[in-house]
Amino acid sequence: MKLARLTQPMVRENGGLRPASWDEALDRAAEGFRAAVESRGPDTFGMFSCSKSTNEVNFIAQKFTRSVIGTNNIDSCNRT
């Protein structure tokens, strides 16, 4: 059985998924983060990064989590 791959972003609307532009999908994701932080505080958010990512990607992940979201809830599997 061959599975079809997604070729564009999808957003949930009225209980189902529909195709969307990248701008709309990213705006919705950002609004979801913003709403969660506003209603429950920044510690509602957490990020987990991968040890196989580059140092630059891990740096951006921690910078986003600390500077944009406002929490220190970031971890990685670098210790394993």
pTM, rounded to two decimals: 0.73
Query: What are the tens digits of pLDDT across the range 48-66?
Result: 988 888 889 989 999 999 9
List helix spans (H) across 1-76.
22-40, 55-63
Instruction: Specify whether the CB–CB gap between 30 and 45 falls below 8 A.
Output: no
Q: How far apart are CA 75 and CA 61, in angstroms?
A: 10
pLDDT in single tens digits along all 80 residues of the chain:
788 899 999 999 999 999 999 999 999 999 999 999 999 999 999 999 888 888 899 899 999 999 999 999 998 876 65
Q: Residue 69, exposed/middle/buried by CB under 10 A (0-12, 13-18, 19+)?
A: buried
